Every structure is written in C-alpha cells, then in structure tokens.
Chain A
Amino acid sequence: MKNILESMFTRRRFLQTSGATGAAAFGAAGMAKLTGFSAVGAGGAAPSNAAAASNGSWKDLQMTKNICHQCPARCGINVYTYEDPSTGNRRVTSIYGDPGNPIANGKLCPKGHLGTYFLYDPDRFKQPMRRTNPNKGRDEDPGWEPISWDEAYDEIASRINELRENGEAHKIAHLYGRGWGPSDAGLYGDWGKLVGTPNAAIGHASICAEGSKHAKAAVEGNASYNSYDYKNTNYLLIFGAGFLEAFRPYNYLMQVWGHMRTKSPKTRVTTVDVRMNPTMAASDRYLMTKPGTDGALALAMAHVILTEGLWDREFVGDFDDGENRFSTGSTVDAERFEEVWTRGLVDWWNAELKDRTPEWAAGITGVDADDIRRTAVEFGSTRPAMAIFERGPTAHTNGVYNGMAIHALNALSGSMFAEGGLFYQMGPSYASGPADADDYRDGISRTMEGRYPRIDMAGTERWPFAGTMMQEVAKNHNAGDPYKLKMAMFYTTNPIWTAPDAPEWEKMMSEIFVVDTSPFPGETAKFADIVLPESTYLERLQDSPTYPFEGWPMTALRVPAVEPIYDTTEFGNMMIEIGKRIKGPTSDYYRQVDNVENLLKHLARGFEDDPGDNGVDGWEAWKEQGVWYKKPYHWKQHRGVFYEWDGEGYNIEMTEEEVREKLMPTESGKFEFDSSYLRAEVDYITQHLNVSRDRVGFPQWLDPEYTGGNRDLHFVTPKTPMTAEGRSGNIPQATALMQPSVGGNDRCYVEMHPQTARERGIKDGDRVRITADLGSIEAYVRLMPQNRPDTIILPYEHGHWAQGRWAEAQERATAPGNPNEMTENVSDPISGLAAYYTGRVDVERV
C-alpha cells in the first residue's frame, strides 16, 4: 500500500505511452515493435499466452549467443526463443549456460536464468522521454513526455555544442558502471578526447573493488585484478572475497569449486570473513574476523610461515647458509638473505613482521591464535597455495595495506605466475576500429586537453594513486571545487543510490542536466532530464572482452535474441549518434564509426589472422559461436624460473628484464615487500595515513579508521548471490530467493547476534533503526547466532525508492532502507576505494 504515487506514476505513464497518446510520438517503427505487446490492464505489457496454452503450437526454436548482464562474470549464455504463431513475435523462453563458453561451460548461477524477467520487466522504459517537471526530487513526478530518438539526440548534442563553444566542455561528464568493451564504455576515451572533456569516463571502480588493484600494483606492479589457476591449486585461503556468493566469475568459481573439492588431492580451503556465509560454511575452516583486520591475520600468517621456515625458497630465496634466522621478536641481518624474485623480505621482517605473532593478531582480529597458526602452517606447507581477496578487506581506510599483507602470502608461497597460482589477463586480438579519432580533432579538442582536472580529482595531488573517484563527483560539484558540472550522462551506474553519502547526489543531479540510459526506472532516472532507454542485454549487440579469468585472451559477444521489444537501442549507438551531431570533424569521425555493428565488424577482423581455439575467424563465426578465445596463457613461473610460451610449450626462459617488462613491472622487476610504488608518494601517504616515512613501503598493520565515533556495532552490507547488478529488487523471483541472508524470501533482513539483540531489547522480526553519524535507516531483524556479536549484517539489495513496482512494494523501499544514505564518504587514501564496511552504528527498536 505504500508508494502509491510512485507506482501510479510509472503505471500511468506506461499505459499512456503504449496507448494512443504515445503512438504518434514514437512513430511507426516503434509501433511495429510493440505489436503483440500492447498493454493489458493496469498490469502493464504482457504477451498473450493463449496460443501456448491451447495447443502448444509454438514453432521454430532458435538459439542465439549472448552474455549474461547480471554480474561482471560475463558468462556466455544460450538464449532460446520460439515464435509465437498468434503474434509472429519471437519470445525468449529459457536461458542456459553456453557449453562452448569457457566461463559458463553450460552452467549458470541462480541469477542467469532469470534474465527473461529483465527483458519482460513491465516497468521498463519503452521509448526516449523528456522531463516536463522542472523540479527534481524523490517525490517529484518527472512528468515524462515521449520524444523521438532524433529529438533526444538533438537536444543533448545542442547542449554539448553550446558548452564546447563556451569553453565549458569539461563540464560534461559521463559516469559508468559495468562497461563491457569497445562497443560501449570503450567509446568514452575517444569521445572525451574529441569533445574535450576529462570527465568522459568516470568509472565506478572506486566504489567497487579498486583496493585490490592498488595492493597488487604496490607489491608487484600490476594495477589489475588477478587471473587464477584454481584447477591446479591445493590450498585456497580466501579473505573476504565472497567466493561462493559474489566473487567473479561466480558461475565459474562454483564449477571449479566442485572440481577442487573432489579432485585428488582435494583442495583445502580456509575462509576469512566477517560474517557467516556459504563460503565460510563450505570451507574446511573458517576464521571470523573483525571488519578491517584481515591484514593483521595475514601478517601473523606471514610471521608463522617465516618462523616455521615454510616459504618458497625457489621464488623468495634463502639465507646464505640455509639456516632459518627468522625468530619471533629478533631482527635479522639482511645481508645473510639472498632474495630471488622478491625484494625487501628481511627489511619487512625487521620493520613489521618480527612482532606480528598469532597472539598479537588474535588480540586485534578476535580469531583464536592457534587457528591462525594452524592455517599458516597449512598454507605454508601446501603447494600450490593461493591467498585471494577482494573488496571485503580493502573497503577500509587501511585497505591497500591489508591487501598487500594478503598478497605477500602469494609471494611467500611462490604462487605468482605458477601452476595453481595467480597471474594477469591478456587482451583479445582485435583489429583497429573504423577510424582513428586523432585524425578528427578540432581546436576545442586540442585546447581543452589537459586544461582542467577531472571533476573527481582522480590522479591529481588530491588522489595521486586513484584512477577514478566517482564518489567524489557530487561532493566536488556541490562544493564547486574544482568546478561545477553542467551535464552528466549515466550508463549502468546509479551513484545517487549506490555511492556513499548518496544524498549528496540528489543535490548535484537537481542542478545539472542529467541523461540516464538504463532500460529500467531507477533513482538516476527519477532525477533525469532525458531518458534514452537502452535495450536489455537480450536485445543487444555488444562485445565483451573477459574480466580477468584464466589469463588467456577471450572475448564474447551479445547477439540479440529478439528484436528490441520497445523503442530502444544499444548504448554504443547513443554515443555514436550524439557524436554525429557534434559540430566539426567529430561528427565525421562518428559517421565513420557509424554504429555498433560496424565497429564490431572492424574489431572482428583481427580474428582473421588469429583464429580462436573454437575456430572463430571473423564476424560471422563470432556471432554464431558467441566467443573467441585462445589458450594458453603465455607465461609460467616454475620453481623460481620464468618461462614464455613458444607456440608449443613453456620453453623460453625469461630474463629478469623480460619478467619486469611483461609480468612484474615494479621498479625492481621483483615482488616488492618494500613497495617503490608507495614510496614514490611518501609525503602523501604519511600525510593521510598514520605511517612513518621509513615504513611507507611495507605491507603492515594499520588500524582502520572506523566511522561512527563511539557507536559500537560494525555494519557490513555484503553482496549475496541473487544481487543482479542492482536490479534484483524488481525481479520478484530473485526477491523470493534472497538466501542466504537468514531466510529472507521477501526482502533482506539485518542479521544480528541474539546477545546483541537482547542487550537492546530487540526480538527476532522486530523493526529496528540503524543509526550512523550521517543518519539512520530502518530494517527488520533476523537473529543469527552464527555471526559476531559486534557486527550486524544487512545484505545489499533492497531499499530502492524508484526502481519499479516490485522493488517498492511491501516496504522493500524503506525496510531495509538504503545503507548508502548513512555510509560516510570516506575512502582509502591510497586506492581511493570507498570504505563501505568501515562504519559503526547503533541499533534500537523502532
């Protein structure tokens, strides 16, 4: 019964636009697409199933290749469609994993199958629309009026042209979340260069998982997520990665889990996390740590590995006489240790590790010292052994140091670039695009280059390490520092809901011209001036080079399974069409690019010279098979020697210089326990973190700076398996399956230890108020005796106030509320990753 106004707004609008009033506005093409999908009743558009029910006379089964869009994993999917004889339209009836796709292998995670509901979401935007209500706010009806694509593009382009001519091109920003490849987010670089804005590609990594990249860059030079050889590892030490819930590629991780847990020898798993979850439960041992203290655990494990003499001597090196001099509390003479592929081990020991005993770590983490010691001995005495981590340990102010401490274990175990270890992802053999943007730059493009910093100040003296700082955009705009934006276009991102201190964004977006490109209603669209609805992924043509997976190159393709059922198009086409309307040579460039299909055809020419393992040698084959890939990974470290693939085997022994150039691009070309990457900004780091100058480079324990003052409960908001890129809230099937939060089949509940609840007079099922410095939200409580008493957990999904009829029904928009409204905008000064899990809160019964 809540949010009647909201749902009235959406429903009425769609009825209108799919009825006679809207028909004239979006023309014959749009109407043709809507045939058979006219609105029925207040429920919105729904195809008639009479034919299916009466005689099952559906015909012409077809299968097209696509890539799932519900998480970063990029699983290849087979999309099955039938032609409905009563309407002549094709309908997607089921989605399965593509057996020919190396990530999916015929399998899918729970989200993947529900893709059909994204396509047929009755709340979808059905054509471009312009806002008529000049007032913006959560409770303001935008007053959408349907417009044609030409009108929409013309309006946007005229604003861009005007800003360019006024020397304000930098006030145009593009913000994006899930970029897939050259045919969508990949267009940003040239677009920004040609238009003349440094803000053409403000990515979301800094509110995602940027911390691990910087931790890795700090010690071994690769600012990237890792590829992993899980199949061959014998020990997996997982720190807060949500391995069986949210780590990418989730689907593949579960496949390889089945392999690891049944192969000979069985891969042993220890999981470190801050809450009970399936990964913890499925592991051989779990260590439940206090939020933000993973680094202390890892340091203590490194301490044990060294004192017990369990490090990999072929990768790390040894004492000159083979005698282990690492002894708790004692310094070691650096001269006596001869390092191979690492640098600074003894310095690290002397400066940090020698006192980092399991007993010390137990005091910080709350994990039993014996368990830490046992885990370290197991990890150190098993080969290959990997320590992996992602957002959990790094979403704190000490995130990079936590991550470095964990990643250092991979050097000690010699698993860098080794079989059963970690390495980095290679890119696909694409040919170049239809044109080179550098040939089409005009005067504005050139004068604007380097003239203004990015609005988020990433890469400036304010955030010298960060590549992107999306969470700073609204704050900086509102403060007018470095300047105010005039226009922002959003693609697959919704910071007005997801960024820390989300309400800041409402202020900014009320002041500027906002374009949203989501196929679905959302908080961004609520504040948009123009909506350019993208096609859903099942209607889209789009490429997608893989996220770091197993190292060897791979790129998959989305092929539309059905014609867009509404008047929508690909985001790439929007960028190109707007580009065609920019005055000057820019428009010529975009006429060369022309459209997404043309661009992809050019890229696919690269396969002609380098056919994939599955025989894909060009555009048609790529479309048919959905993926191009080429094994193997080209490099391998074996027993302290690096080799390169020569076409038949790992037969080329690499020099130190080659390793530095191709694999570990640090200053020393080695794995640095004393990071030159961090030392380069020693002033910045000592200014922003409580680290002394001489210790800046070491993986070390640094107290996390919890927000919330004296409040006494840690508050974490993990991603669970049903979280589908922020859209599960409006997918009723997903909402019904919100496990494994403790039994939510209608929403996410806040999990709380019974003792914690008792102390506050809270009972199971009570509605509570969670309060932080920035404000408070409400949620319903589920008691969970398996969690730490000092930590409460609210799985992240609901609390969306403008996302559609299911997202907003049954109090899902308000209980739970949006945790980002009370998450302070505090970031790790090094990586810039928003410290989402560092908040402390109070809880009381409502």
Chain B
Amino acid sequence: MTAQDNQSGNPALFTPMLYVGAAIAIIAFVFSGFMLMTQGHAAFNMDANVAWGLPISTYVYFALMSSGLTLLAALAMVFGFKQYYPLVKRAIWLAIITLVAGLAVLAMEIGHTFRMLWAIPLNLQVESAMFWMGVFYLADLIFLLWKFQRMERGDWSSKLSRQVGIAGFIAVVLAAGTLALVFGMMSMRPFWYDPTLPVWFYATAALTGVAGLVFFTYLSYGMNTERMPKALRMDMEGPLPRLFLILLFITLVMFLARLTTGLYANATEVNVVWADYLLASGWFHLGVWGGILLPFVLLLARGLRQSPAIQMLAAVLVLVGMFIERLYFVVGGQVVPLFKGTWERDLVAYVPSPTEWVLTVMGIALVFALYALGERLFNLSDMPQAEPGEAEAEPEATAEARS
C-alpha cells in the first residue's frame, strides 16, 4: 500500500521526473548560457522590430499561470470557498515554481540580469509599469513562499496565515494586472493598447492556472481519482471542472470580442495584425480553436466533464493553446513595423531561434523538476485539519488525509 501511504508523491514517477527534469533544465541552461556567451544576443532572433519574442512570451505564460494558480488558491484562502482547500497547497507550490520558471527564462533574456537586481531598486522608477510589475511579482513570490511555509507548518488559518494569503492575493492581482498594463498602456502599440487588458490577463491566467492544476494533479495521481483523498476527488469531479468550464467560457467570449473588434477596426496596426498575422497563421488557429473552443466543447457535457481523461485532454489543450496565444499576443504587438518604409515592406517576420526554444524548454523542465521535488519533499495534497464547527463539512476527506 505504498501508493496509498504516499498518495501523490509516487517515487516511481517523481524521482525520475526530478532527475530528468533537472538534467534537461541544466543542459538547457548551460546551452543557452554558452550561446549567449559566444554569440551574445545574436543567439536570439529578436531585433529592433520584434524586441520581445519567445522568451518574453514564455515568461508571460508562466507568470500568468502562476497568477492564475494563486487566484485559484485565493478562492479558498481569501474568499472562503472551502471546497477548494484540497487544491490549495498544490496550487501554491505550482504558483511558486511556475513563477520561478518564468523569471528564470526572463533572466536569461534580458541584457544585464545581475544589474537589474540593483538597478531597479536603487533607481525607483515609479513611472514604469515594468518597475511595478517587478515589485508586485516579487511581493507575490514572497507571500507565496511565506504562505507555503505556513501551510507546511500546518498553519492554514491563523490570523497571520490568512493575512499572508490576503496579501498574496492582492499582490497577484496587482502583479498580473501590471503585467497586462506593461502591454496595455502602450498607445504606440495599438494591438496591445487596451485598458481592459488586465481582465483578459486575469481570465486567461486563471484558465491556465486551472489547466495547470488539473494537469499536475492528475499527473500526481496517475489519472486515478480513486487514489485521491476524497475531498480532492470531489473537487476534481465537481467544482474544479465547472470552474474550468466557466473560465473557458469567459475566455472564449473575451477572445471573440477581441477578434471582432480587431477585424472591424480601421486602425492598421490592429486590423492588419488580426487579419494578416494572427488569422493567417495555422498555429494561431490551432492555439485558439484547439486551445479554447475545443476544451470548452469537451467540458460542456457533464458526463464528459467528470472524466479524468477528458479533463486531462482539455488541460493539455489549454496549456498548449494558451502558450501559442501568448506568443502571438506578444509578437502581434510588434509585427507592424514602426516607420520602416521600404526597409520593412511586409509584416515583420519573426521565428524564434533554437536558443529561444531551448530557453522555453528550460522553463518547462524547471517546472516539472520542481514539481517533482515538491512531491518528494512536501505533501502537496495536504489540507487543513477539520476545525470545530467546520469538521462536518468533509469528515471523510480529513479522515482519509490523515490516514
């Protein structure tokens, strides 16, 4: 009954995953580091036209997934939706590691990473959205670690623990919102320029967060809900897929609104991007129809929605689809050349370089490795002890969790 004893941290899976993931991450780090040392940023395909490419979109992808996971955890931690408690610890751990992965990719992309560590705090450029994004994500990361540490000590609901949770929620709302504004406030980039962009980021962050949580939860339990604690199983059969569906619906509606506006608008830098860049790409269609519409349809029927296989499929589709969407979003704001006349007669061509892909692989490998590490070191399925007056809610679950 090893599996039973050690419900999710299956060493047969996670030990190899830890080593393989770590090895891939290290190799990717060494490779991209070597490329940067020898070629400089010429190892990337970014240029004066597309200044931000795949590494930035990978960072955005992971940062928002982290934010989505934190928002999800906040349902229980902040808003009192207790049925989500069985998911919280895993969500917080995933939030930590995806943010770390995102920051690691970002650190490899920018010109002077170490200089950033002192130059940003010492210069306090409060006018810069990027400054605040850094501040809020840093706060987010600190509160996540702190909260995780409280949970690890079994402190789920002390005043301090609650306050840390609330602070973390505020930080992540600010962080994801500011990340959106890094793009959304750029009036010279009309494709991005959108005061409601934070809402889109929150929705898609939550969507990828849920997808990530579904994916990793099933990974931990080998797709077998029977092996889950009951409370978790109940979550995975009811509230979580429902939330997944709602988030897909919200994302779909918002996407269609963005699409319609984009195609209708006369503004070249919006219209052309939608018509001639995004919709002209098979990958983009795959990303949005395969990554938003299809999972939405799959999860519509209640019977299918409860199937772990369908959930897993939907999660993978969303994770892949939104990765594509993030890349096209980041690049889409830059493909209409600013002022380039006949130098750039067409939309700017940008294809990520091998080194950029290696950085993305590094981020993904890092997530897998750290998740495996988390499974090895912590009980990610842990949840609060039943407290007086609350115990009757899920007595079975707590009993099983203790066993």
Chain A residues with CB under 8 Å of chain B are: 739-740, 742-743, 745, 764, 782
Q: CB-CB < 8 A to A740: which residues of B?
A: 342
Q: Once bound together, how far apart are the Cα atoms of A764 and B344, in whole Å?
A: 13
Given contacts A740-B342, A743-B341, A745-B343, 10 further A-B contacts (CB under 8 A): A739-B342, A742-B342, A742-B345, A743-B342, A743-B343, A743-B344, A743-B345, A764-B345, A764-B346, A782-B345
Q: Once bound together, how far apart are the Cα atoms of A777 and B346, in whole Å?
A: 26
What distance in Å separates the Cβ of A809 from its nearest Cβ neighbour in chain B? Answer: 15
What distance in Å separates the Cβ of A455 from its nearest Cβ neighbour in chain B? Answer: 45
Q: CB-CB < 8 A to B344: which residues of A?
A: 743
Q: CB-CB < 8 A to A743: which residues of B?
A: 341-345
Q: Once bound together, how far apart are the Cα atoms of A743 and B346, in whole Å?
A: 11
Q: Once bound together, how far apart are the Cα atoms of A509 and B319, in whole Å?
A: 67
Q: Once bound together, how far apart are the Cα atoms of A742 and B345, in whole Å?
A: 9
Q: CB-CB < 8 A to A745: which residues of B?
A: 343
What distance in Å separates the Cβ of A588 from its nearest Cβ neighbour in chain B? Answer: 60
Q: CB-CB < 8 A to B341: which residues of A?
A: 743
What distance in Å separates the Cβ of A346 from its nearest Cβ neighbour in chain B? Answer: 50
Q: CB-CB < 8 A to A782: which residues of B?
A: 345
Query: Which residue on A lies nearest to B342, using beta carbons?
Result: A743
Query: Which residue on A lies nearest to B345, using beta carbons?
Result: A743
Interface centre among A739, A743, A764, A782 (most CB of B within 10 A): A743
What distance in Å separates the Cβ of B42 from its nearest Cβ neighbour in chain A? Answer: 15
Q: CB-CB < 8 A to B345: which residues of A?
A: 742-743, 764, 782
Q: CB-CB < 8 A to A742: which residues of B?
A: 342, 345
What distance in Å separates the Cβ of B249 from its nearest Cβ neighbour in chain A? Answer: 42
Query: Which residue on B lies nearest to A741, using beta carbons?
Result: B342
Q: Once bound together, how far apart are the Cα atoms of A782 and B342, in whole Å?
A: 10
Q: Once bound together, how far apart are the Cα atoms of A739 and B341, in whole Å?
A: 11
Please list 13 pairs of residues, one from A and one from B, whose beta carbons are closer than 8 Å in the complex, sorted by A's number: A739-B342, A740-B342, A742-B342, A742-B345, A743-B341, A743-B342, A743-B343, A743-B344, A743-B345, A745-B343, A764-B345, A764-B346, A782-B345
Chain B 333-352, CB-CB to A under 8 Å as 1, else 0, gives 00000000111111000000
What distance in Å separates the Cβ of A743 from its nearest Cβ neighbour in chain B? Answer: 3
Q: Once bound together, how far apart are the Cα atoms of A103 and B114, in whole Å?
A: 53
What distance in Å separates the Cβ of A341 from its nearest Cβ neighbour in chain B? Answer: 47
Count of chain B residues with Cβ under 8 Å from any Cβ of A? 6
Q: CB-CB < 8 A to B342: which residues of A?
A: 739-740, 742-743
Q: CB-CB < 8 A to A739: which residues of B?
A: 342
Chain B 179-210, CB-CB to A under 8 Å as 1, else 0, gives 00000000000000000000000000000000
What distance in Å separates the Cβ of A757 from its nearest Cβ neighbour in chain B? Answer: 14
What distance in Å separates the Cβ of B303 from its nearest Cβ neighbour in chain A? Answer: 51
What distance in Å separates the Cβ of B280 from its nearest Cβ neighbour in chain A? Answer: 15
Q: Once bound together, how far apart are the Cα atoms of A782 and B344, in whole Å?
A: 12
What distance in Å separates the Cβ of B348 from its nearest Cβ neighbour in chain A? Answer: 13
Q: Once bound together, how far apart are the Cα atoms of A782 and B343, in whole Å?
A: 12
Q: Once bound together, how far apart are the Cα atoms of A306 and B114, in whole Å?
A: 80
What distance in Å separates the Cβ of A411 from its nearest Cβ neighbour in chain B? Answer: 41
Query: Which residue on A lies nearest to B340, using beta carbons?
Result: A743
What distance in Å separates the Cβ of B138 from its nearest Cβ neighbour in chain A? Answer: 34
Q: CB-CB < 8 A to A764: which residues of B?
A: 345-346
What distance in Å separates the Cβ of B39 from its nearest Cβ neighbour in chain A? Answer: 14
Q: Once bound together, how far apart are the Cα atoms of A104 and B345, in whole Å?
A: 34
Q: Once bound together, how far apart are the Cα atoms of A745 and B343, in whole Å?
A: 7
Interface centre among B341, B342, B344, B346 (most CB of A within 10 A): B342
What distance in Å separates the Cβ of A744 from its nearest Cβ neighbour in chain B? Answer: 9
Q: In chain B between 29 and 80, which residues have their CB closer than 8 angstroms to a CB of chain A?
A: none
Query: Which residue on B lies nearest to A742, using beta carbons?
Result: B342
Q: Once bound together, how far apart are the Cα atoms of A352 and B291, in whole Å?
A: 77
Q: Once bound together, how far apart are the Cα atoms of A229 and B114, in whole Å?
A: 63
Task: Enumerate the 9 nearest inter-chain pairs by beta-carbon distance, A residue then B residue, closest first.
Answer: A743-B342, A742-B342, A743-B345, A745-B343, A743-B343, A739-B342, A743-B341, A764-B345, A742-B345
Query: Which residue on B lies nearest to A739, using beta carbons?
Result: B342
Q: Once bound together, how far apart are the Cα atoms of A546 and B343, in whole Å?
A: 36
Query: Which residue on B lies nearest to A765, using beta carbons?
Result: B346
Q: Once bound together, how far apart are the Cα atoms of A739 and B345, in whole Å?
A: 13
Q: Once bound together, how far apart are the Cα atoms of A764 and B346, in whole Å?
A: 10
Q: Once bound together, how far apart are the Cα atoms of A745 and B344, in whole Å?
A: 9
Q: Once bound together, how far apart are the Cα atoms of A782 and B346, in whole Å?
A: 12
Q: CB-CB < 8 A to B346: which residues of A?
A: 764
Q: Once bound together, how far apart are the Cα atoms of A462 and B342, in whole Å?
A: 47
Q: Once bound together, how far apart are the Cα atoms of A740 and B341, in whole Å?
A: 11
Q: Once bound together, how far apart are the Cα atoms of A740 and B345, in whole Å?
A: 13
What distance in Å separates the Cβ of A200 from its nearest Cβ neighbour in chain B? Answer: 46
Q: Once bound together, how far apart are the Cα atoms of A742 and B342, in whole Å?
A: 6
What distance in Å separates the Cβ of A120 from its nearest Cβ neighbour in chain B? Answer: 22
Q: Once bound together, how far apart are the Cα atoms of A423 and B301, in whole Å?
A: 92
Q: In chain B between 283 and 327, which residues have their CB closer than 8 angstroms to a CB of chain A?
A: none
Q: Once bound together, how far apart are the Cα atoms of A745 and B346, in whole Å?
A: 14
What distance in Å separates the Cβ of A351 from its nearest Cβ neighbour in chain B? Answer: 47
What distance in Å separates the Cβ of A491 from its nearest Cβ neighbour in chain B? Answer: 37
Q: Once bound together, how far apart are the Cα atoms of A764 and B347, in whole Å?
A: 13
Query: Which residue on B lies nearest to A745, using beta carbons?
Result: B343
What distance in Å separates the Cβ of A748 from its nearest Cβ neighbour in chain B? Answer: 13
Q: Once bound together, how far apart are the Cα atoms of A745 and B341, in whole Å?
A: 12
Q: Once bound together, how far apart are the Cα atoms of A743 and B345, in whole Å?
A: 8
Q: Once bound together, how far apart are the Cα atoms of A782 and B345, in whole Å?
A: 10
What distance in Å separates the Cβ of A586 from its nearest Cβ neighbour in chain B? Answer: 56
Q: In chain B between 163 and 188, which residues have their CB closer than 8 angstroms to a CB of chain A?
A: none
What distance in Å separates the Cβ of B311 from its nearest Cβ neighbour in chain A? Answer: 46
Q: Once bound together, how far apart are the Cα atoms of A273 and B346, in whole Å?
A: 28
What distance in Å separates the Cβ of A43 from its nearest Cβ neighbour in chain B? Answer: 14
Q: Once bound together, how far apart are the Cα atoms of A279 and B343, in whole Å?
A: 20
Q: Once bound together, how far apart are the Cα atoms of A745 and B49, in whole Å?
A: 14
Query: Which residue on B lies nearest to A736, using beta carbons?
Result: B343
Q: Once bound together, how far apart are the Cα atoms of A819 and B344, in whole Å?
A: 26
Query: Which residue on B lies nearest to A744, using beta carbons?
Result: B342
What distance in Å separates the Cβ of B379 from its nearest Cβ neighbour in chain A? Answer: 56
Query: Which residue on B lies nearest to A783, using beta carbons?
Result: B345
What distance in Å separates the Cβ of A740 from its nearest Cβ neighbour in chain B? Answer: 8
Q: Once bound together, how far apart are the Cα atoms of A134 and B173, in whole Å?
A: 77
Q: CB-CB < 8 A to B343: which residues of A?
A: 743, 745
What distance in Å separates the Cβ of B316 from its nearest Cβ neighbour in chain A? Answer: 37
Q: Once bound together, how far apart are the Cα atoms of A732 and B177, in whole Å?
A: 45
Q: In chain B between 333 and 389, which residues have their CB closer than 8 angstroms to a CB of chain A?
A: 341-346
What distance in Å separates the Cβ of A721 from its nearest Cβ neighbour in chain B? Answer: 15
What distance in Å separates the Cβ of A331 from its nearest Cβ neighbour in chain B? Answer: 52
Query: Which residue on B lies nearest to A782, using beta carbons?
Result: B345
What distance in Å separates the Cβ of A416 from its nearest Cβ neighbour in chain B? Answer: 41
What distance in Å separates the Cβ of A357 from its nearest Cβ neighbour in chain B? Answer: 39
Query: Which residue on B lies nearest to A743, using beta carbons?
Result: B342
Q: Once bound together, how far apart are the Cα atoms of A771 and B343, in whole Å?
A: 28
What distance in Å separates the Cβ of B48 from its nearest Cβ neighbour in chain A? Answer: 12
Query: Which residue on A lies nearest to B341, using beta carbons?
Result: A743
Q: Once bound together, how far apart are the Cα atoms of A54 and B338, in whole Å?
A: 35
Query: Which residue on A lies nearest to B344, using beta carbons?
Result: A743
What distance in Å separates the Cβ of B342 from its nearest Cβ neighbour in chain A? Answer: 3
What distance in Å separates the Cβ of B3 from its nearest Cβ neighbour in chain A? Answer: 55
What distance in Å separates the Cβ of B336 from its nearest Cβ neighbour in chain A? Answer: 16
Q: Once bound together, how far apart are the Cα atoms of A364 and B343, in whole Å?
A: 35
Q: Once bound together, how far apart are the Cα atoms of A707 and B220, in whole Å?
A: 78
Q: Once bound together, how far apart are the Cα atoms of A742 and B346, in whole Å?
A: 12
Q: In chain B between 256 and 270, which residues have their CB closer than 8 angstroms to a CB of chain A?
A: none
Q: Once bound together, how far apart are the Cα atoms of A764 and B345, in whole Å?
A: 10
Q: In chain B between 210 and 269, which residues have their CB closer than 8 angstroms to a CB of chain A?
A: none
What distance in Å separates the Cβ of A706 from its nearest Cβ neighbour in chain B? Answer: 30
Q: Once bound together, how far apart are the Cα atoms of A743 and B343, in whole Å?
A: 5
Query: Which residue on B lies nearest to A784, using beta carbons?
Result: B342
Q: Once bound together, how far apart are the Cα atoms of A740 and B342, in whole Å?
A: 9
What distance in Å separates the Cβ of B344 from its nearest Cβ neighbour in chain A? Answer: 8
Q: Once bound together, how far apart are the Cα atoms of A782 and B341, in whole Å?
A: 14
What distance in Å separates the Cβ of B47 from its nearest Cβ neighbour in chain A? Answer: 12
What distance in Å separates the Cβ of B298 from its nearest Cβ neighbour in chain A? Answer: 40
Q: Once bound together, how far apart are the Cα atoms of A742 and B341, in whole Å?
A: 10
What distance in Å separates the Cβ of A751 from its nearest Cβ neighbour in chain B? Answer: 11
Q: Once bound together, how far apart are the Cα atoms of A745 and B48, in whole Å?
A: 14
